[in-house]
Amino acid sequence: MSAMDAPRVVAIGGGHGTAVTLRAARCYAGQVTAIVSVADDGGSSGRLRELLDVVALGDMRKCLVALAEDGAPLAKAFERRFEEGELAGHALGNLVLAGLVGATGDLVLAVDEAARLLGACGRVLPATTEPVVLKADAVGGEVAGQVAVSQAIQIRSVSLVPGDAGAPPAAVEAIMEADQVVIGPGSLYTSVLAAAAVPELAQAIASTAAQRVLVCNLRPQVPETDGYDVGRHVSALALHKIPVDRVLWDSTAGMGLGVCGPPVSDARLTDPAGRVHDPGRLAEALSGLLG
């Protein structure tokens, strides 16, 4: 079967944005894989990191739910947050994932098992299997931790500590075998590059024969990308050795174009309210790029 008939699609990024990409990809892809940042140090994920010495689990939970069987009660339960007592603020899915990691001793196996329980129509993989700290070089000096980086002003670049954090072999393999690699949407530095900047993943993205597509954010994110246009997003990726072949942009949403090297497709990508990406519209645009 040709790539146009049943493409293998890899989505790279963080939580909410990559979840939208996954909901889009499942409409046209024959095989879907999410490669997800594990650098979050805030909220439930941050608390579990400190308590259990695990990677951040929240973004993988969101992506598992996006790929879950439609209407699955367990998927709805995964997103339920406790409101009282010692569990207040924790999402049930984060606790289940933490339990599976403890029971199996293997992060990738644990996430695969969660996917099986949810009836997921694709695979979710961590960008790296070891706890990492996101670090930014910004105006005013170095900033460490994803929450702190998200509040930094005029970020020049980001990296992960340890710098040699390894990616799961399955993630590298998925990128190399993909027909389309979708980068974003999502927070440029704290979601997209927090995943894509893992050295083995960056090298795979640069080497793959897949079509590499940036789904641009609808508007700048203050303060992380305050003042950015599409061109500055592409330049930031290039600085981190992440090349892009095509860009999807919604000119009606509030993000300027600027100077952009790769070909840009301007398409209506927002939901009717104009606030977020619409999975159906995004699916049509992404599949059209392959066609």
Q: What is the pLDDT of residues 22-47, one digit of tens each?
A: 999 999 999 999 999 998 876 766 67
Look at residue 21 and tell me whether its pLDDT is greater than 90.
yes
* Confidence (pLDDT) at 46: 66
Total-model pTM: 0.94
* Confidence (pLDDT) at 129: 93
Closest Cα to residue 232, out of 249, 208, 210, 211? Answer: 249
Q: How far apart are CA 278 and CA 231, in angstroms?
A: 22
pLDDT bucket at 1, cuts 50 / 70 / 90: very low
List domains and CATH numbers for the chain: 8-290 (3.40.50.10680)
62 or 5, which is more confident?
A: 62
* Confidence (pLDDT) at 238: 96
